[in-house]
């Protein structure tokens, strides 16, 4: 399966597998911090603090599952994501995303079942399919912005998980570490935050989550662009 077009400014993807890293405990979900419905909006900046786009995150309870949604717009690229996860442990069940760009429209559907992931993609070059094995510690790339809100926040915490990237049919291992607390200024105000470092094979990305529950995503820096909280719409 070919790697599909992904707007790198808004996508958490590490595409190099780790080798020779010290073993750490797998990520543990301590508690689900959010309410059954939630919406937050964001601005997207480049590394020079120029605003280049916007987006929002949504949560909706559906039976014994959560529907986690994302919408991002950067220039002519628009990305809509929806992923269904179990309400107790946030394990992925299914997901879909649509990317509209000058290169055309891309649709990716993902279905998890029996430790397998089935991927179906529609691209301007034709349809593609793939199936990969999914390890026990796997979470979907499209839920990560939400998933990390459910960590047991404490300084020095470290854990690993397998980050399944359906659009690339890849599953790199990620290490997440909580490095401390610091204030973060955003259009929505100033928040005291936990700072998280995500790393794989020498590549790092950083996230800041509010210290106070429900641990909103306040800032995300992937090295190319920065996402900042604009509004909490409850």
Task: Supply φ then ψ for residue 231, to 5 degrees.
Answer: -160, 145
Does the structure show a pLDDT above 70 at 13? no
Task: Supply φ then ψ for residue 157, to 5 degrees.
Answer: -60, 135
* Among 3-17, 64-78, 79-93, 201-215, the least confident range: 3-17
pLDDT digits (tens, 9 = 90+) for 68-86: 999 999 999 999 999 999 9
pLDDT digits (tens, 9 = 90+) for 206-234: 999 999 999 999 999 999 999 999 999 96
Q: Using DSSP, how many helices (H) and how many strands (E) does the chain show?
A: 1, 15
Do 138 and 154 meet the contact criterion of CB atoms below 8 Å apart?
no
Over residues 173-199, mean pLDDT = 96
182's CB contacts (< 8 A; 6+ apart) are 192, 193, 195, 208
Q: Which one is predicted more confidently, 42 or 172?
A: 42
Query: Percent of the chain scored above 70 by pLDDT?
Result: 89
- Read off the pLDDT band of 2 (50, 70, 90): very low
Enter the pTM of the model: 0.89
Over residues 130-135, mean pLDDT = 94
| Cα–Cα distance measured from residue 54 to residue 20, given in angstroms and rounded to the nearest whole number | 38
Do 57 and 80 meet the contact criterion of CB atoms below 8 Å apart?
no
Over residues 87-91, mean pLDDT = 95
- Read off the pLDDT band of 24 (50, 70, 90): low
């Amino acid at each position: 399966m070919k790697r599909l077009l992904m707007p790198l400014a808004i996508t958490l993807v590490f595409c190099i597998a780790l080798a020779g890293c010290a073993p750490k405990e797998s990520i543990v979900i301590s508690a689900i911090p959010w309410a059954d419905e939630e919406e937050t909006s964001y601005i997207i900046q480049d590394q020079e603090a120029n605003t280049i786009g916007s987006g929002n995150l949504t949560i909706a309870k559906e039976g014994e599952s959560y529907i986690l949604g994302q919408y991002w717009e950067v220039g002519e690229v628009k990305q809509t994501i929806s992923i269904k996860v179990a309400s107790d442990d946030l394990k992925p069940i299914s997901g879909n995303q649509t990317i509209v760009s000058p290169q055309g429209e891309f649709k990716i559907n993902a279905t998890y079942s029996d430790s397998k992931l089935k991927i179906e993609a529609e691209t301007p070059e034709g349809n593609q399919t793939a199936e990969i094995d999914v390890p026990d510690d796997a979470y979907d790339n499209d839920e990560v912005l939400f998933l990390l809100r459910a960590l047991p926040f404490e300084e020095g915490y470290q854990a690993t998980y397998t980050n399944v990237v359906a659009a690339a049919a890849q599953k790199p291992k990620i290490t997440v570490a909580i490095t401390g607390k610091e204030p973060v200024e955003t259009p929505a105000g100033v928040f005291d935050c936990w700072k998280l470092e995500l790393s794989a094979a020498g590549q790092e990305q950083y996230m800041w989550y509010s210290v106070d529950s429900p641990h909103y995503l306040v800032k995300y820096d992937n090295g190319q662009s920065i996402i900042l909280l604009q509004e909490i719409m409850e």
